[in-house]
Amino acid sequence: MPELTQSSASCSPSRRLSVVAALALLLAFATLSACVGRAQPLEPLVVGWERVFRLEWEVAHRGGQPVVRSSLTNDSPYTVMRVQLLVEALDANGAVVAQEITWATADMMTPSTRASFEVRAPAAASTYRVRVFAFDGAGGGE
């Protein structure tokens, strides 16, 4: 039986570093996979958006695919801009199954301005919900 010497029984420093790096990468991937699997649904960034906007929407079909058509009215006395909408597909129990953020068609909305948009539904679903996700104030009322 061959005799093991210290130099043949131990790993070189570069080999140990490679093994440690591989284990760290594997751990990082496993952690990321676990976090992605438990993602929470998005919620609007602006609480109380309902006091600023009136949002009306309906589901239609285009080319056999569901689309959400909506109109958004700025009911506030302020000019707003960069309005983003959160379109959500809901299951029969009201749980979110898919979400998509889209821009409203108007970049700047003065008071009483109405903007319309149409977006492909994020997934086929029992029902849908549309909410204002975020917007910026442009200042000054009229």
d(CA 73, CA 132): 11
pLDDT tens for 74-83 read 999 999 999 9
24 - beta bridge partners? none
Cα-Cα-Cα-Cα dihedral sign, residues 97, 127, 108, 52: negative
Amino acid at position 56, single letter? E
- What is the tens place of the pLDDT at every residue in 4-51? 555 444 556 656 555 555 545 555 555 444 444 557 899 989 899 999
The Cα–Cα gap between 84 and 138 comes to 15
Element (H, E) at 30: helix 13-37
Q: Check: CB of residue 45 under 8 Å from CB of residue 86.
A: no
pTM of the model: 0.68
Q: Residue 54 to residues 20, 71, 98, 100: CA-CA distances in angstroms?
A: 56, 8, 23, 20
Amino acid 47 reads: V
